[in-house]
Amino acid sequence: MTQVRDSFHSRIGFVLAAAGSAIGLGNIWGFPTNAANNGGGAFLFVYLVVTLLLALPALYAEVYIGNQSQKNPVSALGDACKNISERLGRNAGIIGLCGAIMMLSFYTIVAGWMLSHALSAITQLMGFNELSSWLGTSSTERNLVFTPIFILLGAAIIHQGVNAGIEKWSTRLMPVLLIMLFGLIVYILQQPGAMEGLKVYLVPDFSQLTNPKLIVSAMGQAFFSLSIGVGGMMIYGSYMQKDKDLGKLVISITALDTGIAFLAGLLIIPALFVAQHAGQQVFQGNQLIGEGQLIFHILPELFASMGTIGLIVAIGFFMLLSIAALTSTISSTEVPVAYLVEDKNISRHKATWLVSGTVLFFSMLLIAFFDVLFGAFIRVLTTILQPLSCLFYFIVVGWLWHRGNKLRDKALQVDRPWLKHWGNYIRFVCPILLTVVFVNVAILN
């Protein structure tokens, strides 16, 4: 290849872009909903354990492969598997790439909901009540407008490239997201009823720990939240200079992602109890009503009941979710784009349109057959594709590494004693642990 590869210009740029990929609807929407449905503090506890034992090493393995190879995931995995079968590796890369497209096809629909709810609050503030109610009510027409808008927003950033697009926008958007989140938490925690929610969230009900569904939900949530298993983190790793301290960077990304999920819980769960205090029915028994749809019903009503200030809070909240979703969207889009640019010699401009067009096609399919396809896509991705990809990464990093392939690196050699343990942990413990949980998922499904 004659072209110089585009790259992140700083380590902090990489960390913010990767954290931007990790922090998304999964943290702010998925984590609190899962926590509220699975025993509050008990879920939080199991989530932290699963993140440390499995998700963090998986993220390390994924970033590591990308960083060592400095190539897109298809070529990177192909190189890594050269000694047994390059084709096997490349195929695994292609499967990850399909996972990225799958993720985008449902993610951009939900992200479109966030955008339309933000606009709903803005238009209500401006007095356009009819438009506002259309924007705030779910409908196929609304999906047909907002999903493409969201895909276009992602394409506009990706099309600008790694440094000028991804790095620049991630460094701009991530601090805004943090400020908004803190502001909203401070506001919600002062409302009546919030303290009860805080207690449910922070005090674990350990009787829930024996529930196998809890561990499976926590693992799916942790993998999805850290964006592992579709190649997004691998491609970001490949845009960073080869780094000896990858471990530190991966720990920072995990800490940021987990921290934001924790903070989102501090916002959403108390907000649910504020809504309940205000007379809305939020729980039926232990379960949230309407599960994932909840924040689109309960929270807008809660915001509306607060008058004008509520509208401003609503704009902040849904903008926050839209921004978080956008930085996640771009990492998944970059996976197939980089593959087309590097392996198929297509220009970035054309590749961006091609990938966006494909995503648009699948998201329209999901909208057309929403009841059948939407949940199925999410389930296949999070409970099958992502864990299997992670298993593959563990095997690549733990086993194929030492066989003279190009991806040899000090980190898994024996020059630092703790690294030896880390290497063995990835070789033996992670694949076994993951297989055990995976078999459980299969049984539970």
Size of the site for ligand PHE (CB under 6 A): 15
Residues paired with residue 287 on neighbouring β-strands, in sequence order: 284
Of 22 and 320, nearer to ligand PHE (C-beta) is 22
Ramachandran sector of residue 191 (left: φ over 0; alpha: ψ -120 to 50; beta: rest): beta
Give the residue among 19, 17, 118, 106 at the shortest CA–CA distance from 321: 118
Question: At what angle are helices 386-395 and 86-125 packed, to 10 degrees?
Answer: 140
Both structure tokens of 368: 């057309």
Between 25 and 314, name the residue whose CB sits nearer to ligand PHE.
Answer: 25
d(CA 225, CA 35): 14
Stretch that binds ligand PHE, among 161-169, 284-292, 328-336, 415-423 (CB under 6 A): 328-336
Helix (H) or strand (E) holding 17: helix 11-22
With beta carbons less than 8 A apart as the criterion, state whether 367 and 147 touch. yes
* Touching ligand PHE, residues 11-30 (CB under 6 A): 21-22, 24-27
236 binds ligand PHE (CB under 6 A): no
Least distance in angstroms from the C-beta of 297 to ligand PHE: 21
Site stretch for ligand PHE (CB under 6 A), options 222-230, 264-272, 281-289, 412-420 = 222-230
Nearer to ligand PHE, 154 or 161 (CB): 154
CB of 340 to ligand PHE, least distance (A): 18
Q: Would you count residue 328 as binding ligand PHE (CB under 6 A)?
A: yes
331 touches ligand PHE by CB under 6 A: yes
Q: Which is nearer to ligand PHE, 46 or 326 (CB)?
A: 326
Q: Which stretch binds ligand PHE (CB under 6 A): 42-50, 196-204, 236-244, 326-334?
A: 326-334
For ligand PHE, which stretch binds (CB under 6 A), given 117-125, 263-271, 325-333, 420-428?
A: 325-333
In this structure, the number of other CB atoms found within 10 A of the CB of residue 148 comes to 17
Does 96 bind ligand PHE (CB under 6 A)? Our answer is no
CA-angle at 211, arms to 210 and 212, nearest 5°: 105
**Taking CA 322 as the corner, what is the angle to CA 376 and CA 14, rounded to the nearest 5 degrees?**
95
> In terms of residues, how long is the chain?
445
Which of 40, 165, 220, 232 is close enough to bind ligand PHE by CB under 6 A?
Answer: 232
User: Smallest gap, in angstroms, from Cβ of residue 261 to ligand PHE?
Assistant: 8
In the complex, the smallest distance separating the C-beta of residue 234 from ligand PHE, rounded to whole angstroms, is: 11
Q: Are 230 and 389 in contact, with CB atoms under 8 Å apart?
A: yes
Among 122, 230, 288, 390, binds ligand PHE (CB under 6 A): 230
Angstrom CA distances, 224 to 32, 54, 256, 442, stand at 14, 12, 15, 18
Least CB distance to ligand PHE at residue 166 (A): 13
Asked whether position 224 contacts ligand PHE by CB under 6 A, the answer is: yes
Output the smallest distance, CB 248 to ligand PHE, in A: 20
Considering only residues 194 to 213 of the shown chain, the ones binding ligand PHE according to CB under 6 A are none
Tokens of 253: 């990304």
Q: Cβ atoms within 10 A of the Cβ of 216, count? A: 20
- Interface residue with ligand PHE among 108, 227, 352, 383 (CB under 6 A) is 227
d(CA 135, CA 123): 9
- Segment interacting with ligand PHE, rule: CB under 6 A, options 146-154, 198-206, 223-231, 401-409: 223-231
How far apart (Å, rounded) are the C-alpha atoms in residues 249 and 380?
Answer: 29
Q: How far separated are the first and last CA of the chain, in Å rounded?
A: 46
Residue 370: CB minimum distance to ligand PHE, A: 20
Pattern 126-165, ligand PHE, x by CB under 6 A:
----------------------------------------
Does residue 332 bind ligand PHE (CB under 6 A)?
A: yes
For 160-190, give the DSSP string. Answer: T-IIIIIIHHHHHHHHHHHHHHHHHHHHHHT
> CB under 8 Å to 306, separation ≥6 — which residues?
313
Which parts of this chain interact with ligand PHE (CB under 6 A)?
Answer: 21-22, 24-27, 103, 224-225, 227, 230, 232, 328, 331-332
